[in-house]
Amino acid sequence: MKNLKVVTRIVQQLQLQLEGETVIVSAVDSERHRAFFASSENFIYSVDLPAPTQQPLQWSETSLDSNVEEVVLEPGDSIVAMDYLMEKESLLLGSSTGCLLLYNVDEKTTEVVGRLEGGVKTIASSPDGALISVTSGFGQLLVMTHDWEVMFESSLDPHSDSAGEINSPSCPIQSSISWRGDGKFFATLGGPDGSSQKLTIWERELGNMHSSLDTKAFIGASLDWMPSGAKVATTHDRKTEGKCPLIVFYEKNGLERSYFCIDEPAEVVVQALKWSCNSELLAALISCSQYDVIKIWSCNNNHWYLKQELRYTKKEGVRFYWDPIKPMHLICWTLGGQVITHSDACFSTPMMSSEANNLPEKRDSPFFIIEIELVCPEDSLLGSVCSSGWQARISKKMPLQSPVTGISQNPAKTGSAFIQLSGGRIVEYCSKVNLFRMSALVQVGEVGSDYSFPTSCPWMAAVLCHENGIVRPLLVGLDDSCKLHAGKRLLSTNCSSFTFYSSAYGATEQCATSVADTTHSHDQLSDNKVTSVLMAIRKALEVQMEESSSRELCILTTLARSEPPLLEEALNRIKGIRELELHGVDDARRKLYPSAEESLKHLLWLIDPEAVFNAALGLYDLNLAAIVALNSQKDPKEFLPFLKSLECLPPAIMRYTVDLRLGRYEGALRNIVSAGNEYHEDCMKLLNANPQLFPMGLQLFTEPDKRHQILEAWGDQLSEEKCFGDAATTYQCCSSYQKSLKAYRACGDWRGVFTVAGLLKLTKEEILQLAHELCDEFQALGKPGDAARIALDYCSDVDRGVSYYITAREWEEALRVAYMHSRQDLVDTVRDAALDCAALLISEYQEGLLKVGKYLARYVAVRQRRLSLAAKLKSEDRFMDVEDDNISEVSTSFSEMSAYTTRSMKESSASVISSRASKSRGARRQKKGGKIRAGSPGEEMALVEHLKGMSLTSGALNELKNLLVVLIQLGKEEIARQVQLAGDNFEVSQMAAVKLAEDTVPNDKIDENAHTLEHYVKMLRAHQPTESETNCWRIKALSPPRSGAYSNSPE
């Protein structure tokens, strides 16, 4: 990383309510980009932080509009800690007397949720917002859910012998909490005020202490866990040694990793440490004797470099935090309510003989373009700023009303440069004559819009490009959100830096700026390309290069960078080198290879050490795994007990345990089977936990008893997954007929139930009882047809069977069974039920015909209103000579009318409502899904879909034809004709309405004569084939002449 430069600095002032009031603590809502501040007088200030698109000037100072609300506490009590809970959209406040209060930001309500003895010291929520950790003034740690359910409670130093003394009111403590980025661990730093403190790492789930350090001279409450999770930053006091403090880093196992000196006097105090959200920058607030300073460091090659200092007076009492989303944004605030937002960028500026820059003379004056002339003797190198022998003077100066974001030389024109103004606008700066003639005018001209960027890009460069035989400059810019632009075009959304190269050269020149590091989404072919290229390189190295240490390291690199990494092959090569070393081979060929330790360290440098350790375990080589763990600096307490326990196991069980750890369940099954019968129970547990292994288990076992046990377990698994049909068949394979019968019964397969009952050799009485039960079950499940078959075939109950057929509307089958048993009473029952059903259907079809007409008329009215409004706006635009902006506003206002658009005009804050509220709204939408709200944006298409949904289903048509046949068989031909007429009128009208709607949707005109239901009904009947699918249910003997005996009138 290069030196940091402040691109923007926005100063805003909170309007504090009372004299002498100071800001105490802050919290941030990253989703809505707003900050909250609590004051010494218990006022809560809610402010919106400036977004990059809202920054008109790079340097500005304004008064900050804020929402202010007073939190009422007991006399003498004050707010000392605060954190924002994303799930509840509320602030959790902690007071000096120990009150925990939930302050709803939008509703401005306060609720007391708890109380801690000794007062609240710190509040910190986990990264996912699910847990909240709180420390008290008596050294107690409390972790709870956002619903205030206490997960665990402990002392900050549970192993201390003086816990009782620490938890006493006479011994107040200072403490701090920091969560790891993934939320699995968190660290606490605490101890009696004014004495040494203890660093403790806690596990999230059970609250167990993962590791702890002996009490050391930590400074204050400066503690922060790197978001990537690699290390914890703390500060050590060395006043007793007369040396300046150290910033020390620890791993989660409590081991010290590294440290560096802050280069300040021994008396300074580090008040806070904060990592940037990308873990690349570390900032510290240091309190010196004369001032407070915020120092920012970055790390490269295990060395820490100071990048920036921000100094404030002691009276200001500055505090700070990093933006949770944007890594280069630092937000500072003072006791007096001043909020300073810094936007940084890293730069490496080349020296030029003449350079333009923007330097404001005064805070309230405009910006300037200044051309500086560097004059030196002829025997000196121009552009090299030495200690003497050169002079600088301002040769040209031109005011600008907008700040300059970046400058780049124009490669196509001498004495010209592209200047980027705030917001991404590009202008060209030209010096009309030779550099050493100062009398010429300076011009700034606007260039084409293709050169400008859509947003400010602090990193900018120009390069010549050839297009259709024309050479022209191309501007490339990188903004602070990692988006790479070429003028208006977006090249990449995840780029950290870029450089240019020419195809005329054989190698790429790496400039002072770093090489482009862009991430694209690759498909499978692209992934295979990487592996294929690396394989070709590896083969070329093995065939064309002589054996050497560098060649072997290159081969390991190709294996490590393949997708996926070929770690096992790489470890096998290292294992071969190690075996040569162990056997004491000292020939010339051995000396051509690197040592096993060097090869392993090279591999660990390329790949995540945990992945290499797992790959070594996958080779079942415990010694190699131990060497990998040692070289990757893993804690011996973590891996040695595990490796020793593996070493004590039989070989097959050792391999089984390794495969289980690595998730290689097929290999684990093979190994546990080869271990013998004494491990069969473990084998069954593995199969039950991984059902996909059941087919392999059947192949590995040949004994009938064990195969039956596996099949029964597989059937149980299928039953749990509600796959009852497959479960029933699986149970039959192992002769588990009782379970098979239950499975068939659960899936509603009554034929399978009675087949298995025969296999079980049930008695007639048992089968009859089973049949009665199934009849009741199928009737309750809405399957009366199946219930009728069971009643007739197994219960010999004709009355019940015919009744079920009538319920199922299987009229022909009901009448057949009644005549088969010569039951005139049942024939009369079927006739009466059929006549009732016919009357009901005629009424339903007539009512449906009315609804079709009503919904179609409503659709036509809505369509006509929309077309009429569109025509009116179009006619007005034809006679008005308006500017483009006004046209845009008219079209936008038209597109945002609620009746014709699905866009919402509500503020974007609705997008951050909690998940619980979103689910409630979704449930309400589902309840209202059947309604078509008048004037809604989707009314027009909803009416069309509703008309389509009114069509008769194939099941309804089959029932209708069945009923018509039975009515004719019973001598009720006239009633059958009425039923067919009503059904035909409804079906044709519904189809005509849908056809009319589909024809008018793409058109911008409705013909009142042609687009009518009557016209479309006539057209549909005229072109309807006699043998079409829609006529398959009609009885020809009941059909009237084609001349129009059918009527589509609602009457």
The tokens of 507 are what? 């190698």
Per-residue confidence (pLDDT) for residue 908, from 0 to 100 = 35
Over residues 672-687, mean pLDDT:
90
- The side-by-side arrangement of strands in the sheet containing 79-85 is 79-85, 90-95, 99-104, 109-115
Per-residue confidence (pLDDT) for residue 352, from 0 to 100 = 36
pLDDT tops 80 at residue 614: yes
pLDDT tops 80 at residue 964: yes
Per-residue confidence (pLDDT) for residue 357, from 0 to 100 = 44
For residue 954, the Cα-to-chain-centroid distance in whole angstroms is 44
Over residues 811-826, mean pLDDT:
91
The tokens of 83 are what? 């954190």
pLDDT tops 60 at residue 1043: no
Asked if 401 contacts 365 with a C-beta cutoff of 8 angstroms, the reply is no
Per-residue confidence (pLDDT) for residue 492, from 0 to 100 = 83
Asked if 775 contacts 790 with a C-beta cutoff of 8 angstroms, the reply is yes
Residue 919: pLDDT band with limits 50, 70, 90: very low
Q: What confidence tens digit (pLDDT) does each residue in 379-424 have?
A: 554 444 444 555 667 777 777 767 788 888 888 887 788 888 878 8
Over residues 725-743, mean pLDDT:
92
Over residues 588-600, mean pLDDT:
77
Residue-wise burial string across 720-758, b where 16 or more C-beta atoms lie within 10 A, e elsewhere: eeeebeebbebbbebebbebbbbbbbebbbbebbbbbbe
Q: What confidence tens digit (pLDDT) does each residue in 615-674 have?
A: 888 888 888 888 888 887 777 777 888 888 888 999 999 999 999 988 899 999 999 999
Token pair 């503690």: residue: 223
Phi, psi of 497 (to 5 degrees): -165, 170
Residue 232: pLDDT band with limits 50, 70, 90: very high
Per-residue confidence (pLDDT) for residue 66, from 0 to 100 = 72
pLDDT tops 60 at residue 921: no
**Of 332-336, 892-896, 974-978, minimum mean pLDDT range:** 892-896
What is the rounded distance in angstroms from the CA atom of residue 200 to the CA atom of residue 211? Answer: 6
Per-residue confidence (pLDDT) for residue 590, from 0 to 100 = 66
What's the CA angle centered on 720, arms 719 and 723, to 5 degrees?
45
Q: Which helix (H) or strand (E) holds 69?
A: strand 67-70
Per-residue confidence (pLDDT) for residue 727, from 0 to 100 = 92
Q: What confidence tens digit (pLDDT) does each residue in 488-545 have?
A: 888 887 777 787 765 443 333 333 333 343 434 444 434 568 888 888 888 888 888 8
- 506 against 787, higher pLDDT: 787
Name the pTM for this structure: 0.47
Q: Cis peptide before 564, with omega less than 30 degrees from 0? A: yes
Highest mean pLDDT among 443-457, 964-978, 1028-1042 belongs to 964-978
Q: What confidence tens digit (pLDDT) does each residue in 837-864 have?
A: 999 999 999 999 999 999 888 888 888 8
Per-residue confidence (pLDDT) for residue 432, from 0 to 100 = 57
The tokens of 267 are what? 């008396």
Own/partner contacts of 950-959, CB < 8 Å, gap of 24 or more, are 950/848, 950/851, 950/852, 950/855, 950/990, 951/987, 951/990, 951/991, 951/994, 952/983, 952/986, 952/987, 952/990, 957/1032, 957/1033, 958/1033, 959/809
Per-residue confidence (pLDDT) for residue 506, from 0 to 100 = 34
Cα–Cα distance list, 575 to 289, 570, 581 (Å) = 59, 9, 10
Mean of the per-residue pLDDT values for the chain? 79
pLDDT tops 80 at residue 441: no
Residue 143: pLDDT band with limits 50, 70, 90: very high
pLDDT tops 80 at residue 425: yes
pLDDT tops 50 at residue 899: no
pLDDT tops 60 at residue 348: no
Per-residue confidence (pLDDT) for residue 694, from 0 to 100 = 92
- CA torsion sign, 125 to 131 to 132 to 138? negative
Q: Which helix (H) or strand (E) holds 1021?
A: helix 1013-1022
Which H, E and C letters describe 944-1003, residue by residue?
Answer: HHHHHHCCCCHHHHHHHHHHHHHHHHCCCHHHHHHHHHHHHHHHHHHHHHHHHHHHHCCC
Per-residue confidence (pLDDT) for residue 834, from 0 to 100 = 92
Amino acid identity of residue 801, one-letter, is G
Residue 888: pLDDT band with limits 50, 70, 90: very low
What is the rounded distance in angstroms from the CA atom of residue 115 to the CA atom of residue 96? Answer: 11
Share of the chain above pLDDT 90, in %: 26
Q: What confidence tens digit (pLDDT) does each residue in 58-86 have?
A: 555 666 667 888 888 888 899 999 999 98
Per-residue confidence (pLDDT) for residue 103, from 0 to 100 = 92
pLDDT tops 70 at residue 170: no
Share of the chain above pLDDT 70, in %: 79
**Of 225-234, 584-593, 703-712, 790-799, minimum mean pLDDT range:** 584-593
Token pair 């689910």: residue: 919
The tokens of 474 are what? 């191309």
Q: What confidence tens digit (pLDDT) does each residue in 548-578 have?
A: 888 888 988 888 888 888 888 888 988 888 8
Per-residue confidence (pLDDT) for residue 332, from 0 to 100 = 93
Could you give the count of Cα atoms lying within 13 Å of 235 in the half-sphere of its Cβ?
29
Cα–Cα distance list, 243 to 221, 222, 239, 247, 1024 (Å) = 20, 18, 6, 13, 100
Per-residue confidence (pLDDT) for residue 378, from 0 to 100 = 52
Cα–Cα distance list, 96 to 74, 77, 113 (Å) = 10, 6, 15
Per-residue confidence (pLDDT) for residue 391, from 0 to 100 = 67
Per-residue confidence (pLDDT) for residue 194, from 0 to 100 = 59
